[in-house]
Amino acid sequence: MNTNSAVLVEHNLPCKLRDGTILYSNIYRPAAEGQYPVLLSRTPYNKDLPEFSHRYVDPFRLVRGGFVVVIQDVRGRFASEGKFNPFVQERKDGYDSVEWAGALPYCNGNVAMFGLSYYGYTQIYAAVEQPPSLKAIAPAMTGSHLENGLLFRGGAFELALFETWFLDSIAPDIIDRSEGKNGGYNQVREAVNSLNKWYKYKPVHLWPPATATKELHDFFNTFIQPEEDWLNLSSVTEKLSELEIPAFHIGGWYDCFLGSTIENFEKMAQSNKMQKLMIGPWGHGDFNPLIGDRFFGTHSSGNSIRHQQDLTDLHLHWFNDVFNKPAAAIPPVQIFVMGVDQWRTEREWPIKRTVYTPYYLHQQGQLRTDFPSINEASEKFCYDPEQPVPTTGGATLFYQGINSGPCNQNGIAARPDVLTFTTPVLQRDVEITGPLKAVLWVSSNRKATDFTAALIDVFPDGTSYNLADGIIRLDPMEENTPKQIEIDLWSTSNVFFKGHAIRLHISSSNFPRYDCNPNTGSSMVESVKSIKAMQTIYYGKQYPSYILLPVMPEPEED
């Protein structure tokens, strides 16, 4: 289509669902007569706000590329009717919305979906229902369940993520719909300005910013004290391997949904090989080249990938591949390798040539690839829930993207409640690309507690930056008894240059990213009480603790 052709925009077109509820959409379409594929995005964040309706993809360019674009408010949000029941509602509503879009007079019967975060979920959930008109999806930075990556990670509650999302993105419209912009509305908007204070409040189930109205508080408690049946209804992960639909998955090394994005790709690739995966050095919804304390180059930006194309271009190429079936233009896997700061294509994920290498904990804080020679050794630290390790970057979701990405970890490493194990200075470059985990022997003098682990790149000047991390909640434990645990650190891609060092951080908190375990068997959600815990990390031949790193083999010499 001519890139200068006119675009018509229609506001608040009604879509009637099977139960009679009306959802409203804004439609962008070619002025020229004809029938075109529809690209549908379903959002709870207000289709009329460019920050959320357009986000990282330009609907006008999509239209000029030969598509109709439909952006819809989901049930119970902004212009649309009904009561908002997040995630659970999106399966049937997604099916109905896709079939409605496919029947529009200017649609040729083919529908695809796109969108980020919650409106990535709406794609996955609709796809599970298999609407006949849905031919492809492009979910970015999203998941398919709530228990590992949205509400919880390794059993710990994603405190900052949830409270930020709830207060900034969800609560205002709930109050506005029920009571208008009264004192309650102003109360939640003002609370956003004091989020750092409110993260510390406990018990969380009585969180004052959530008590502006009863409806708001009920919604809040649905998430912080979820019932098992509701969690099961909110998960579709087990169905992904059955889906025969092409999908282009987009993620970021510092995105709070990185693990879920990769999981979606891997599971869906089991039944449909037309799966694409792209991972950049990005945070959640943030495609800028500067994140945290690192700058990855303008070619890493979502606006100038490889200085050749932007994310809208990629979507156009993807949907044209799906609908016009030319030779595949997008490689199966595209990853940004940090350190060397270069894009690279791969045939699969995880990468088959990976050499998974354990780096063992040794005495004097050393991290080495040789198996320990001593029989047993250990290190201890005291974990105080009232003085937790502060969140300093990572794959977080804070207001406006603050406190995310790679940040200087020197202050964290200096804390007495953080154990550090570091390799000797590297004598050659080492590339780590793929999934990673910490396998540790631990004990505690408490029956319930947490352990955390983080992979760190130490620069020649001593400055250190975080690459990946994870947490595990243990309840119950047998007190003072060694136990082997695995902490999933998700994945990364980074070259540790010659002169750098690889470091592992071990601790028991990362607050307010996760709620602090009070070591009592209860939680910060329910209780204000806490007690200190004495934690032990074991290593040696009897209790070999290590971090398993996905090492890329060195290129063969000609």
Phi-psi region of 341 (alpha: psi -120 to 50; beta: other; left: phi over 0): left
Cβ atoms of 316 and 62 closer than 8 Å: yes
Pairing status of strand 36-43 against strand 275-283: unpaired
Q: Is 26 in contact with 9 (CB distance < 8 Å)?
A: yes
The pair phi, psi for residue 122, each rounded to 5°, is: -60, -30
The two tokens of residue 276 are 């694409």
Distances (CA, A) of 217 to 204, 224, 340: 11, 11, 48
By DSSP bridging, strand 134-140 and strand 152-153 are unpaired
Per the CB < 8 A criterion, the answer to whether 503 and 412 are in contact is no
Output helix, strand, coil percentages for the chain, rounded to the nearest 5: 25, 35, 40
Chain position carrying tokens 């990853």: 335
Task: Decide if 299 contacts 306 (C-beta within 8 A).
Answer: yes
Q: State residue 18 phi and psi, 5-degree precision.
A: -60, -25
249 burial class (0-12, 13-18, 19+ CB within 10 angstroms)?
buried
Contact 81, 17 (CB under 8 A): no
Distance CA 34, CA 41 (A): 21
Q: Are strands 36-43 and 107-116 parallel, antiparallel or unpaired?
A: parallel
Is residue 315 within 8 Å of 148, Cβ to Cβ? no
Neighbours of 558 (CB within 10 A): 3
For the chain, how long is the longest CA-to-CA vector? 78
117 is catalytic: yes
Return the axis-axis angle of helices 90-102 and 118-128, rounded to nearest 10°: 80
Distance between CA 367 and CA 362 in Å, rounded? 6
Task: List the catalytic residue out of 41, 58, 249, 284.
Answer: 284
255 is known as an active-site residue: yes
Strand order in the sheet with 333-337: 7-16, 22-30, 68-73, 36-43, 107-116, 134-140, 247-254, 275-283, 333-337, 342-346
* Contact criterion met (CB below 8 Å) for 460 and 501: no
Distances (CA, A) of 153 to 386, 393, 488, 522: 21, 16, 9, 17
Residue linked to tokens 């970021």: 252
Q: Which of 536, 535, 537 is nearest to 517 (CA)?
A: 535
Q: How far apart are CA 258 and CA 279, in angstroms?
A: 9
C-beta separation of 509 from 487 below 8 A: no
Choice among 255, 321, 450, 457 that is catalytic: 255
Which residues are catalytic, by number?
A: 117, 255, 284
